[in-house]
Homo-oligomer: A and B are copies of this chain.
Amino acid sequence: MDSALGFLLAARQCEIDELEHLALTSDLVTVVARLVHDLQRERGLSNVYLASRGARYVEALHQQVADSVLAQQEIRAQFDALDTAAHRVRNGARLFSRIAYVLYALDSLPALRQQVQAQETKPEEASAGYVRLISGLLNVVFEAADSASDPEISRALVALFHFMQGKEYAGQERAIGSASFASGQIDAPRQQHWQHLIEAQENSLQVFNDFTDPAVRTAWTSVQPGEALHTMERLRRVAAFTSNGGKVDSNALSSWYETCTERIDAMKAIEDLLANHLRQLCVRRIEQARTELRDQQANLNALQQQAVRQDEAPPALLGPHLEREVLGMVQEQSRRLQSMSDELETARAALNERKVIERAKGLLMASRKLSEEDAHKMLRQTAMNQGKRLIDVAKTVLSMSDYL
């Protein structure tokens, strides 16, 4: 085989390797989604348990912790599998750093659970611990989405990441609402944070909607529980229009918690669909790429034999017919890679917003010696005060970097 052809086939083989790596990452993402869901439930139950001074959801929390521990074991096994396949991991430095943070945060989970159990912490503090861990897990999904080299799979990962992010905002909203109703009052900072969570949720779900498969989009429209949504919107409105420091009906807690939970569980079903779609997509794309490679090889073999029969060229060289064919294949492959790269750019542009916000946070952390949480709070506060979107504030901060 001529060496130009050898490299053409090697390029195809690289694509297959990339796809197989993506399949591995997709499996990881699926397990991450499962653990996130368990931690979200655990956070919600812990919140109500703490806010009700240990009166509610004692047994449910106990059961949930047992489920979470199982999901933790599952993810550790998945991380180990990744470790042994390290040489095949793209974007390894970033992905592994994110995983290191997750493992660190998982190690501190037993202590947090003990504090909750003994009611030695406040709902907000307990929530913050879970939020950090879940945010670390979402970062793992983000890196996976950011390293995907296949446009179709990249779109599926972008959709899944944004759906998970939206679901996490929904979970945080459940927590802030539960804490408010349980305590029987609400103040302005909490109302603002609540509003931020609603908006961030809607933005994330919009990106999901733009990038997901039509079948999943339809499922998402049909699965949303109408009655629960109605109740949720009513309680959102009640909380939003209560004056600063005013009372809210603590009897609404159950209703709030359960409608939110119903919606989040419906989201979990969609998440499962998304993860399923992603897995099938990987299998299909690998199968497709392998078939194309086989066809290409068969085509070339046939051409070469033909060239030899016609004495067009000595066996070691290419005849003019085969040469034209090779040029056609090389050009076709270049065009295909170019168009894949264009599509990929579109899908990844959706991830850039988050990157800009991360960079602005990093700048604030470095220049003002803030923790990540405080940097985020500062950006969010500025966005609220100025009535701007978070991304626009982040861009402004970056453009002012010389002054900071």
- Residues 337-370 of chain A, each 1 if its beta carbon lies under 8 Å from chain B, else 0: 1110110000000000000001100100110000
- Residues 78-109 of chain A, each 1 if its beta carbon lies under 8 Å from chain B, else 0: 01100100110110111111111101100110
Contact of A4 among B95, B103, B149 (CB under 8 A): B103
- Nearest chain B residue, comparing its CB with the CB of A372: B331
Contact of A18 among B8, B93, B335 (CB under 8 A): B93
A367 CB, nearest partner CB in chain B, Å: 13
B14 touches A330 (CB 8 A): no
A13 touches B330 (CB 8 A): no
A14 touches B103 (CB 8 A): no
- Nearest chain B residue, comparing its CB with the CB of A83: B10
Report how many copies the assembly holds. Answer: 2
Whether, in the assembled complex, A312 has its beta carbon less than 8 Å from a beta carbon of chain B, the answer is no
A323 touches B107 (CB 8 A): yes
B93 touches A14 (CB 8 A): yes
Kindly identify, within residues 37 to 74 of chain A, every residue whose CB is under 8 Å from any CB belonging to chain B. none
B83 touches A7 (CB 8 A): yes
Whether, in the assembled complex, A373 has its beta carbon less than 8 Å from a beta carbon of chain B, the answer is no
A362 touches B338 (CB 8 A): yes
- Residues 1-35 of chain A, each 1 if its beta carbon lies under 8 Å from chain B, else 0: 01111111011111101100000000000000000
Chain B neighbourhood of A100, CB < 8 A: 4-5, 7-8, 11, 330, 333
A349 CB, nearest partner CB in chain B, Å: 13
A95 to B107, CA, bound (A): 42
Chain B neighbourhood of A318, CB < 8 A: 107
Whether, in the assembled complex, A219 has its beta carbon less than 8 Å from a beta carbon of chain B, the answer is no
Chain B neighbourhood of A10, CB < 8 A: 83, 86, 92, 96
B14 touches A334 (CB 8 A): no
A6 touches B83 (CB 8 A): yes
Chain B neighbourhood of A80, CB < 8 A: 3
Kindly identify, within residues 149 to 168 of chain A, every residue whose CB is under 8 Å from any CB belonging to chain B. 149
Whether, in the assembled complex, A327 has its beta carbon less than 8 Å from a beta carbon of chain B, the answer is yes
Whether, in the assembled complex, A76 has its beta carbon less than 8 Å from a beta carbon of chain B, the answer is yes
Whether, in the assembled complex, A326 has its beta carbon less than 8 Å from a beta carbon of chain B, the answer is yes
What is the size category of the interface that chain A forms with chain B? 35 or more
A149 to B147, CA, bound (A): 12
Evaluate whether A2 and B107 lie within 8 angstroms (CB atoms) in the complex, with A13-B86, A330-B101, A362-B338 already known.
yes
A335 to B86, CA, bound (A): 22
A186 to B74, CA, bound (A): 75
A51 CB, nearest partner CB in chain B, Å: 29
Evaluate whether A14 and B92 lie within 8 angstroms (CB atoms) in the complex, with A8-B100, A330-B101 already known.
yes
A142 CB, nearest partner CB in chain B, Å: 12
A90 to B3, CA, bound (A): 20
A137 CB, nearest partner CB in chain B, Å: 14
A338 to B10, CA, bound (A): 33
Chain B neighbourhood of A108, CB < 8 A: 323
Task: Kindly list the 10 A-B residue pairs having the minimum CB-CB distance in the complex, ordered from nearest.
Answer: A14-B92, A11-B96, A4-B103, A7-B100, A4-B104, A8-B100, A14-B93, A11-B97, A15-B93, A7-B96
Report 12 cross-chain contacts, Cβ distance below 8 Å, ordered by A residue.
Answer: A4-B100, A4-B104, A7-B79, A7-B96, A7-B97, A11-B94, A13-B86, A15-B93, A97-B330, A100-B330, A104-B330, A335-B365
Given known contacts A8-B97, A17-B92, A108-B323, what 14 new A-B pairs fall within 8 Å (CB)?
A: A7-B79, A7-B100, A8-B96, A8-B100, A11-B94, A13-B92, A14-B92, A17-B87, A94-B341, A97-B334, A104-B327, A335-B362, A338-B362, A342-B362
A interface, CB within 8 angstroms of B: 2-8, 10-15, 17-18, 76, 79-80, 83, 86-87, 89-90, 92-101, 103-104, 107-108, 149, 318, 323, 326-327, 330-331, 333-335, 337-339, 341-342, 358-359, 362, 365-366
